[in-house]
A and B are shown apart, each in its own frame.
Chain A
């Protein structure tokens, strides 16, 4: 069966520090991969999605970047965190196509001090 792992579960970082959140999927090949953020009191916002290795689409301009160095690995990064980067980050995967359900990781709670 397929599983998705996302870590760390919580992270407290100072403003201006770098960030790296990792997400890996097991049990499937060539999945679509997604990074979402839920800011306080708001819905899930799609940040990045990827349909293959090295293929990243960004939905909103921001302080973050994403990379997919391997088929089932998706990394969310920042060189310098801002206070506004605080939030709950979720990674998800799906079989190819928007008509397929997404499967979410457990999320990372990021607090910027």
Chain B
């Protein structure tokens, strides 16, 4: 595939629930996979950059995994809080291409 897909498109969870999203990307010509958080009225903020197959990264309650052989990455949020509400973007960085996914919109209900 020469496309980046994210699922689900949107998600509503209760405060305290844990959740995860999926990013599917081309499995060839891979250099890096980026995750960004984009809050309303703000600019996208980098969460993780992963380059190696099997990478796992963690920042507070948020973590991500990477499988470059099958072309997917998971983003996990443990114990969701209202401030986690945002659109989460993944981006495939190949040696000659940058492709952003359409994003997963997360709403955390207090």
Residues of A within 8 A of B (CB): 34, 36, 42-46, 49, 59, 90, 98-107
Contacts and interface: CB of A to CB of B under 8 A. Distances in A.
Contacts of B51: 99
Given A98-B93, A102-B46, A46 B34 contact: no
Interface of B: 4, 31-32, 34, 36, 42-46, 49, 51, 89, 91, 93-95, 97-103
Contact of A46 (B43, B89, B98, B101): B98
A103 B36 CA distance: 10
A100 B49 contact: yes
A5 B50 CA distance: 27
Contacts, number: 49
Of the listed residues A49, A99, A106, the one surrounded by the most CB atoms of chain B closer than 10 A to its CB is A99
Given A43-B4, A98-B98, A99-B49, 15 more contacts: A43-B89, A43-B101, A43-B102, A44-B44, A44-B100, A45-B100, A46-B100, A59-B98, A90-B43, A98-B32, A99-B93, A104-B44, A105-B43, A106-B42, A107-B43
Contact of A43 (B46, B93, B95, B100): B100
Label chain A's interface by main secondary structure. loop
A46 B45 CA distance: 17
B46 A44 contact: no
Contacts of B43: 90, 104-107
A103 B101 contact: no
Contacts of A101: 34, 46, 49
A103 B46 contact: yes
A34 B99 CA distance: 13
Contacts of B91: 44
Contacts of A42: 102
Contacts of B46: 101-103
B47 to A, nearest CB: 8
A81 B97 CA distance: 26
Contacts of A107: 43
